[in-house]
Amino acid sequence: MKKIWILLLLALAGCASDNVYFPAPSARQAADQIIQDVWQPVHTNVREER
């Protein structure tokens, strides 16, 4: 019977979740930085054709 209680407690503990909330301005700033990094022009040694 003791094993059943231990398993039940472990199962309930496994269902717990933590919600993490990020401040909106910080999240927006981080997203803007990621977008700038991704869309940053890549400099290569290849000349552009005109």
DSSP character string of 1-50 = -HHHHHHHHHHHHHT--------HHHHHHHHHHHHHHHHSPPP-SPPPP-
Instruction: Quote the pLDDT of residue 10.
Output: 84
Instruction: Quote the pLDDT of residue 46.
Output: 57
Residue identified by tokens 């993490």 is 20
24-36 residue pLDDT tens: 888 899 999 999 8
Q: Read off the pLDDT band of 47 (50, 70, 90).
A: low
For residue 44, how many C-alpha atoms fall within 13 Å in the half-sphere facing its CB?
Answer: 5
Residue 43 pLDDT > 70 = no
**Phi and psi angles of residue 2, each rounded to the nearest 5 degrees, phi first:** -65, -35
Q: Read off the pLDDT band of 16 (50, 70, 90).
A: low
